[in-house]
Structure 1
Amino acid sequence: MQRSPQQVPALLDGPGVDVSDTGELLLGYLEWYREALMRKISGLTDERLRTPVAPLGWSPLGLVQHLGWVERRWMRWGFAAEDVLAYPPDGDGAEWSIPADRPTAEVMAAYCAEVTTTNSLLAHAELADKARLGGRFQRSDQAPSLERILFHLLQEYARHVGHLDVARELIDGQTGE
């Protein structure tokens, strides 16, 4: 059966179809999901970025802020065992909510700073490297490999970018990759 051009499936997202190296795939998809996050919020006014979406209870900017905390927890506190604040002092709700006096640009800059730090850590590591002890992981039998941490980051991004699809459709009806 022949398909019309409209029925032909789209090319794969993420890294090129010729990429088969696990490290390249993980890093390529991580970058693709980060870019997808930015595509999903592109074009939203500051008010729409900051307003919690009913019935979800969080704003698109709150989700960006959460993913910054996720990168920090898994890469800086987890993989690198840096002595950093891993959770907001006011709990989970503070991770997802944006105070009225915190500028959008500041939230975005904090997220981008975490991404930059993650990329710096990744540039000097191998997939088989184990997380250092002393941060999130106190014993060697608890410390996962970087490969395992990257899989976790990917599932976080995939899940939350999917959530953002729903939020965006509720906000203004926009859908798509």
Structure 2
Amino acid sequence: MQQQPENVPALLDGPAVDVSDAHELLLGYLEWYRKALMRKLAGLSDDQLRTPVEPLGWSPLGLVQHLGWVERRWMRWGFAAEDIVAYPPGGDTEEWTVAADTSTAQVMTVYQAEVAAANSLATAAALNDRAHLGGRFKTPDQAPSLGRILFHLLQEYARHIGHLDIARELIDGETGE
């Protein structure tokens, strides 16, 4: 994939303007949003990353943790039908709350591992490949295509990056692109 030179402003977000392959577009935009997540966290102290933002009720690091679970659920448990824990035992509260004894580095490492696993699965399959049965999806009519799953992940990131823009503005006044 061709990259935009650093000194030239991008005309479009995401993959290069000449990319038209749907698989490459979906993976390229998903990667762009994953990087946007990291850009929007840059410059926050550990305390700012970990402290829930009012009135939202979650911390920026909690959002990263949640997105790691989302990647895991949709790609490893969903698409690949791996026999894994798909939800934390404490449900949504635990998914969005970073335990005091869990370091920022640990959350980031787990998130990056889930992204790497998702990328590995997505690059090795075609968009029309159906999710394997036995994990999240039990019957063929429940099993979506990889394209559908990637599109879901893309909208999940787009929505949450918007939420993070609001959180960041509440934390320190920074606004996003």
Q: Shared fold (TM-score greater than 0.5)?
A: yes
1:137–1:162 distance in 2 versus 1, CA, 3 Å:
same
Q: Deviations over 1:92-141 (max 9, x none)?
A: 10000011111110000000000010111112111010000000000000
**Aligned mates of 2:10, 2:175 — CA distance in 1:** 16
Does 2:50 correspond to 1:50? yes
**Secondary structure in 2 matching 1:155:** helix
Cα distance in 1 between the residues matched to 2:48 and 2:176: 18
Residue number in structure 2 paired with 1:39: 39
Per the alignment, residue 26 of structure 1 pairs with 26
Q: 2 CA distance for matches of 1:128 and 1:176?
A: 34
1:46-125 equivalences in 2 (<5 Å): 46-125=46-125
SS at match of 1:17: coil
- 1:135 partner amino acid: G
In the alignment, what sits opposite 1:163? 163
Matched residue count: 169
Q: Which residue of 2 aligns with 1:153?
A: 153
The percent of aligned pairs where both chains have the same amino acid is 76
- Alpha-carbon distance in structure 2 between the residues aligned to 1:44 and 1:80: 35
Find the aligned partners of 1:144 and 1:70 in 2 and give their Cα distance.
Answer: 16
Whole-angstrom distance in 2 between the partners of 1:135 and 1:89:
17
SS at match of 1:136: coil
Q: CA deviation at 1:176?
A: 2.0
Q: Distance in 1 between matches of 2:34 and 2:67?
A: 9
- Matching residue's letter, 2:74: W
SS at match of 2:13: coil
* 1:172 counterpart residue number: 172
**What letter corresponds to residue 79 of structure 1 in structure 2?**
F
TM-score, with length taken from structure 1: 0.94
The amino acid of 1:119's aligned partner reads N
Distance 2:49 2:14 in 1: 25
Deviation of the 1:10 alpha carbon: 6.1
Go from structure 1 to structure 2 and tell me whether the alpha carbon gap of 1:134 and 1:102 turns closer, same or farther (over 3 Å shift): same
**TM-score, normalising length: structure 2:** 0.94
Unaligned runs of 5+ in 1: 1-8
> After TM superposition, what 4+ stretches of structure 1 lie above 4 angstroms from structure 2?
none
Larger radius of gyration: 1
Structure 2 counterpart of 1:81, one-letter code:
A
Amino acid at match of 1:164: L
In structure 2, give the amino acid aligned to 1:20.
Answer: S
